[in-house]
């Protein structure tokens, strides 16, 4: 079954380019030219990926992403920002509010398609053999995409889920920011090592009792991060 991609973009020519290339890539594509009714559309079609422009005629894509990520029904929808804003502070902000990737205009359709494939592959995968992962008080279910801590459900974004899933699969090992970039986002991403820190901080805020003094997701100074299995 083809994956569904929802693109919210007001530029008609760019919409045609997106629809043409994504359809050729084997995806089912839905286009919206603004934010009116966008949240209802996301809930109705449950896209596998949302491509979101930041500067739209009827609102701000960043604000819409905040609304999306605050809604437990659809907050796990991966969001790829597509925007002309290329400053690092814009990329950091986009990721801080829950975005999973950030592609700047102008862009290569081939590169965009590669980024889409990476996110869909990591969000999907072969789940037939997946079983819930238990690590101390943390439980992660790959099939239902649910995480709980001490029996209480956590509202993780798609990227936070992928990070936690990766760390739970490799406990006790130290990974550099570059290694995490390649493992979670794939090679050639526009996400920077600094952006990895943003997602680590957000994940800590979800799973750690004291995020500024983490017990499980630890910083290894001068190198990267290590996840110690909770006891």
Distance CA 157, CA 162 (A): 9
Neighbours of 184 (CB within 10 A): 21
Residue 81 sits in a domain of what CATH number? 3.40.50.2300
Residue 174 sits in a domain of what CATH number? 1.10.10.10
Q: What was the pLDDT predicted at 195?
A: 83
> Domain check: are 59 and 77 in the same one?
yes
Q: Which of 100-114, 142-156, 212-226: highest mean pLDDT?
A: 212-226
Please list, in sequence order, all residues whose beta carbon lies within 8 angstroms of the beta carbon of residue 37, skipping any fewer than 6 positions away. Answer: none
> Domain check: are 11 and 99 in the same one?
yes
Model confidence at 231, pLDDT cuts 50, 70, 90, reads low
pLDDT at 204 > cutoff 80 = yes
> Domain check: are 104 and 151 in the same one?
no
Q: What was the pLDDT predicted at 73?
A: 85
Tell me which residue of 170, 192, 165 sits closest to 181, measured CA to CA.
Answer: 192
Please list, in sequence order, all residues whose beta carbon lies within 8 angstroms of the beta carbon of residue 101, skipping any fewer than 6 positions away. Answer: 78, 79, 80, 81, 115, 119, 185, 189, 190, 191
> Domain check: are 90 and 32 in the same one?
yes
> Domain check: are 14 and 116 in the same one?
yes
> Domain check: are 57 and 101 in the same one?
yes
- Reported as a single tens digit per residue, the pLDDT across 53-82 is 999 999 999 999 999 988 888 888 999 998
> Domain check: are 33 and 100 in the same one?
yes
Mean pLDDT of all residues in 197-222: 92
- Domain's final residue, options 82, 101, 123: 123
- Domain's final residue, options 123, 157, 186: 123
> Domain check: are 21 and 108 in the same one?
yes
Query: Which pair of structure tokens corresponds to residue 215?
Result: 């017990």
This prediction's pTM: 0.61
Structural domain for 105, as ranges: 4-123
- Domain's final residue, options 65, 97, 123: 123
Does some domain include residue 128? no
pLDDT at 199 > cutoff 50 = yes
- Of 133-147, 148-162, 164-178, 185-199, least confident by mean pLDDT is 185-199
> Domain check: are 141 and 163 in the same one?
yes
196 or 189, higher pLDDT: 196
Does some domain include residue 137? yes
Does some domain include residue 140? yes
pLDDT at 86 > cutoff 70 = no
> Domain check: are 30 and 117 in the same one?
yes
The CA–CA distances, whole Å, from 195 to 10, 43, 96, 97, 110 equal 27, 28, 8, 12, 23
Does some domain include residue 32? yes
Mean pLDDT of all residues in 199-216: 92
- CA-CA-CA-CA dihedral for 212, 224, 193, 161, to nearest 10: -70
> Domain check: are 161 and 119 in the same one?
no
> Domain check: are 114 and 193 in the same one?
no
**Domain count of the chain?**
2
The CA-based angle 212-187-172, given to 5 degrees, is: 40
């Amino acid at each position: 079954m083809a994956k569904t991609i929802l693109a919210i973009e007001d530029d008609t020519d760019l919409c045609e380019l997106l629809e043409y290339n994504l359809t050729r890539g084997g995806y089912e594509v839905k286009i919206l030219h603004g934010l009116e009714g966008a949240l209802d559309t996301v809930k109705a079609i449950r896209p596998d990926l949302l491509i979101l422009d930041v500067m739209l005629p009827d609102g701000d894509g960043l604000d819409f992403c905040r609304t999306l990520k605050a809604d437990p029904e659809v907050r796990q929808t991966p969001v790829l920002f597509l925007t002309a804003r290329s400053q690092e502070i814009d990329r950091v902000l986009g990721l801080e509010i829950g975005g999973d990737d950030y592609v700047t205009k102008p862009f290569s359709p081939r590169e965009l398609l590669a980024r889409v494939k990476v996110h869909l592959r990591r969000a999907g995968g072969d789940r037939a053999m997946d079983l819930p992962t238990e690590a101390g008080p943390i439980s992660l279910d790959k099939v239902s995409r649910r995480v709980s801590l001490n029996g209480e459900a956590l509202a993780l974004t798609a990227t936070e889920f992928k990070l936690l899933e990766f760390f739970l699969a490799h406990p006790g090992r130290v990974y550099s920011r570059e290694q995490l970039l390649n493992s979670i986002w794939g090679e050639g991403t526009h996400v920077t090592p600094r952006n990895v820190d943003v997602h680590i901080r957000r994940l800590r805020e979800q799973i750690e009792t004291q995020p500024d003094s983490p017990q499980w997701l630890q910083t290894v100074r001068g190198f990267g991060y290590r996840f110690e299995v909770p006891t």
